[in-house]
Amino acid sequence: MTELPWLEPRVVAELDDLLARRLLFLDGATGTMVQRRGLREADFRGDLLRDHPRDLKGNTDLLCLTRPDVVADVHAQYLAAGADLIETNTFTSTRIAQADYGTEHLAYDLNVAAARLARRATDAWRDRTATPRFAVGSIGPLNKTLSLSPDVNDPAFRAVTWAEVHDAYTEQVRGLIDGGAHLLLVETIFDTLNAKAALSAIALEFERRGTRLPVMISVTITDKSGRTLSGQTVEAFWASVSHARPWSVGLNCALGAQEIRPWLVDLAAVADCRISCYPNAGLPNAFGAYDESPETTGALVAEFARDHLVDVVGGCCGTTPDHIAAIVQACGSQRPRAVSVAVPQANHTRLSGLEPLNITAQTNFVVIGERTNVTGSKKFCDLVKADDFATATQVALDQVRGGANLIDVNMDEGMLDSKRAMTVFLNTIASEPEIARLPVMVDSSNWQVLQAGLQCLQGKGVVNSISLKDGEAAFVEKARTIARYGAAAVVMAFDEHGQATDTDRRVAICERAYQLLVGIGFAPQDIFFDPNVLAIGTGIEEHADYAVSFLHATRRIKQRCPGAKVSGGISNLSFAFRGNEPVRQAMNSAFLYHAIAAGLDMGIVNAGQVTVYSDISPDLLRAVEDVLFNRDPGATDRLVAIADRFKGGAKKKEVDLAWRQAPVADRIAWALVHGTVDHIEVDVAEALAELGSPLAVIEGPMMAGMRQVGDLFGAGKMFLPQVVKSARVMKKGVAWLEPHLAAAKASGQGSSQGTLLLATVKGDVHDIGKNIVGVVLACNGWDIVDLGVMVPCETILREAAARGVRAVGLSGLITPSLDEMVHVAQEMQRRGLTLPLLIGGATTSKQHTAVKIAPHYTGPVVHVLDASRAVEVAQHATAHDHTAWLEALRADQENVRQIHALRHAAPLLPYAQAQARRPRLAFDPAVLSAPAVLGRQVLARAPLAEIAACIDWTFLFAAFDLKGRFPAILDHPDYGAAARDLYGNAQALLERVVREGALEVRATWGMWPAAADGNEVALFDPVDPAACVARFQFLRQQQKKTDPDKPHLCLADFVAPCQAGVVDYVGAFAVSAGFGVQDLEAAALADHDDFTAILAKALADRLAEAAAEWLHAQVRRAWYAPDEALDNDALIAERYRGIRPAFGYPSCPDHTEKAELWRLLRPDELGITLTETHAVAPAASVCGLFLGHPDARYFAVGPVGSDQLADYARRKGIEVDQAERAVAGS
């Protein structure tokens, strides 16, 4: 919301000034210090409560009224120890908490008195030392919770209401502010819903006063699961409270500094404010006391500071002034964390249940489960009416298991007490972790019901909905209230004149609402516009354009309302065909497909009943899309007629069975060596009957066959594609045996070489190479734990410890993944691990491993060149006596580091001289042709057959470690047969993909007027040439050249400079062939067919590159080469004018420039997204620029100097260290 002025601006300025120079220090435990005084009952009573009927000893907050001298002395000791921030003694000073002592009537007085005591202490210190100190109003978590039931037999019951909690906190906040607190601290949060009530009370009190104070928030993680007592993860918690725009957020209590670190790292990675941490003095001993020494606490907290995780540190339970003094001494020279590093992208939407739902550039369509709606599900309605909420939760669970990302809950029914029903149901599902992990969309046309729902959500939910139908004042007031609850809002395209049905009205209403919301400070990313999905195919002419109008409106809303999302109730579209479920599913699925391409972010659908677009019968799809796009007046009639006419079938291939005459062990070996799966289950069953034990089958004929495979592979007589096929056979046979293995496994028999963990690191989605390595290692007796892609460091190390692995393997394709690998190595070192660390992936190298990773970890760090080396490396790295091997490895790595140092000692030109040595190119207007079409273009489904003809097959073989160019590789003397077999399988899969449309290629591209300005290139609006729509930053070669006449290149050199007086053009593109690859992979893996799963991904990669080649050819013909006629060999050889540089490659090594490309092209509207480290998802995707100058060519930037880095950072508006990381790959 619009921010109020500070109550004490000087205080905020002083806090910022101190934090510009050093960390701030919070005090320690008040209770620990009070306990040391040995106070008696009389001390807690004083004169005020001399005759009180209940025992009061232990109610430490009362001392602010009965023994203020004790509290003042504690403050003084902490100030003397170096604390900057002194907490008020008000942890339990709410009416609810004090009710246990019968002293609730003193709640306000307690807070006023406590704030005055802290304020006097800090003011006195300021007067005496001329050093600012600050009083922090402590707001504790209460002894009753809004998210948990105290009755195990009634999960919906709550011991307290939102209103009671909100009122209690309001009274406390008023007392603290009236008493003079400089800041407010909502701390030790174990139930986020309680905290949200406190934050709402604070916000309303600030509004009442017209000024505000800095607000600190601190959550407590109860155990090593990394969750609060009420079940939220740290990131989900941040999503739930970030609406309060706190001055700081952090962690305290429950854990010591050593145990709290992983969750502090997670919080620092997502929060865009100051970070605090004040842990306990270790964990309590058997008697509940804290033994950790001040020196130990200080050293552990200093690690947080050294790693730039914190801005504010202090102590919680068990800490004393000695602990604070030790923390101050240990951290005194450390700088605070840089807040800017964690600022999320502006258009990211963060929702949460027990777990976060981040709707970012890399998020695909978000499914909102629709069946927990009394108006949309008769089953659910009947259960709610019968008060059977326990069974009604199963409806929600079905939606979760069907793929829903959010749950829509609607209780609007005339015979229901909707407010009660909403409250009871939401409280009930809060006790079901599988459901509660998802955010909730509270859906009602009744404002009171919506608020009742919001008062049950500890996570960040969504309100469905508000609109302008009652005018702007009511709309704005409701939006303010929603923001105070910390929720996002669905805004309907509905105003004072009714529901919008045409494109212009839909867009106009949404634009008007957007301006109102943004004007009051409502976050754009928390606005979900619903432009009204309305029924089509009704036979009413006015309804015929409803669907196509929705699509047009969605595109315009996304353009004109930056950051906002678009949602819709998808099932409304097919309402006219209720009773005909196949048609409804086809209509909804086809509409979803086109709506997502148009920019739809989320939709309310039955999560378990969405047909895959490519699975819709072509005849039915054609009829459905005729209705969707209102192609002709007879479309609806044709759709009705075709409803029941779609069937499918399949053909079987004949196989040669001559080898079936051999003994069963030989048949199993033959099947493994030849990769034949057709009879493996029959043969394994026969072997089981013969040998009597499933382990005997695995360790006998199956492992014998795999040893043959291993021997042939090691001898170069089998090749990787064949090994992967062998693994498919092995997995299928083992899968058949699994029901028989339980008893054998219990006996402890087996011959595994151990467990090895593999993961693609956080931020990276590429895993073909990792999967191949996993298959090869599994074939050689290793048990593989594959954590998949985008795996955080904490998960990798936690799983490694839990699984007792013998080694950890990290994979990554993009250059930012290299930094994440360094981080994992550093964290392994910090935790004292000695496991071997294996490094692999396309961007990794022996050099990078030796220079950048190995120095951070004393355990073995080994680069694995390819899958064929994986077995040897794993065996050496995990051998019990690998001393000689490790010494040789480290000597080799030291030699690599020395060579690297010598190479990079090669002199660089001063940046100014490199600039002066740019090439002098001519920009003849006759050569700078104008493209036929300017601006952004979209192709939602590119022609697969045409694109397939452009595939460069050489790199498919490389993916399977077969080296050589196509087609010569097919006749290679050693592995030509393997290459031919792989090529045949790839062609068969490609034929199927093209025939069935199993993969989709989507593309967005465009051409814009452009001009170079130094080392950057600006693109301009084709309609308004003065308006810059994108600006790309490039680097210039700086390393000295042996031939001083050779120019130092930069991509900007190939674009006409702005002072040239001519109009040049630059294109941009993003293509993906990854849509459908997950289905192909999943189907193959379900059949234990690793080979086809890996081949599908590899083929998708080839199609993505081919799509870029195909698209580039189309662009050239429409730009400057209308008569170009090159065959595929010429295209692959790049015998054409112009280049297609991709970000992250040598001529433009900075992946972060993709963010500018995404702002220009909006590929996320097609489902092509960026991860947080700027990898493109799906993985089979390519993006870059089109440059058309006749002299344009590819080159490597190479190393750059600090002078160029400083200029690059200035141009990008980032810190120099960030620029250095961004261009590390150069």
Residue-by-residue DSSP string for 1078-1135: HHHHHHHHHTT-HHHHHHHHHHHHHHHHHHHHHHHHHHHHTTT-TT----HHHHHTT-
Distance of alpha carbon 696 from alpha carbon 603, whole angstroms? 52
What residues pair up with 809 in beta bridges, in sequence order? 758, 838
Distance of CA 933 to the CA centre of its chain: 36
Distance of alpha carbon 1177 from alpha carbon 129, whole angstroms? 57
For the chain, the 3-state helix, strand and coil shares in percent, each to the nearest 5, are: 50, 15, 35
Name the nearest CA neighbour of 80 among 325, 331, 332, 330.
325
Distance of alpha carbon 751 from alpha carbon 735, whole angstroms? 18
- Any catalytic annotation for residue 845? no
Residue-by-residue DSSP string for 260-299: HHHHHHHHHHH-SSEEEEEEESSSB-TTS-B---HHHHHH
- Extract the tokens encoding 692: 């009597």
Do you find a cis peptide bond into 907, omega within 30 degrees of 0?
A: no
Distance of alpha carbon 1223 from alpha carbon 390, whole angstroms? 55
Residue 494 contacts residue 475 (beta carbons within 8 Å): no
Residue 550 contacts residue 512 (beta carbons within 8 Å): no
- Extract the tokens encoding 964: 């050589």
* Spatial CB neighbours of 274, under 8 Å, sequence gap ≥ 6: 19, 247, 248, 249, 311, 312, 336, 337, 339
Question: Which run of H or of E encompasses 1074?
Answer: strand 1064-1075
Do you find a cis peptide bond into 1141, omega within 30 degrees of 0?
A: no
Q: Where are the beta strands (DSSP E) in 511-600?
A: 527-530, 565-566
Distance of alpha carbon 250 from alpha carbon 263, whole angstroms? 10
- Any catalytic annotation for residue 766? yes
**How many residues are recorded in the chain?**
1226
Name the nearest CA neighbour of 1197 among 1148, 1143, 1152.
1148
Name the nearest CA neighbour of 256 among 310, 220, 309.
220
* Spatial CB neighbours of 666, under 8 Å, sequence gap ≥ 6: none
Q: Could you tell me where the DSSP H helices lie in 130-213?
A: 162-179, 192-209
Residue 1116 contacts residue 1122 (beta carbons within 8 Å): no
Residue 871 contacts residue 859 (beta carbons within 8 Å): no
Do you find a cis peptide bond into 465, omega within 30 degrees of 0?
A: yes
- Any catalytic annotation for residue 495? no
Instruction: Out of 495, 764, 1064, 1164, pick the active-site residue.
Output: 764
Distance of alpha carbon 798 from alpha carbon 807, whole angstroms? 13
Other CB atoms within a 10 A radius of the CB of residue 96 amount to 22
Residue 800 contacts residue 757 (beta carbons within 8 Å): yes
Instruction: Out of 766, 856, 1151, 1189, pick the active-site residue.
Output: 766
Residue 497's alpha-carbon distances to 96, 180, 545, 549, 1178, in angstroms, are: 47, 50, 20, 19, 43
Distance of alpha carbon 925 from alpha carbon 755, whole angstroms? 64
- Extract the tokens encoding 640: 């009705």
Name the nearest CA neighbour of 854 among 802, 792, 814, 900.
900
Catalytic residue IDs: 764, 766, 817
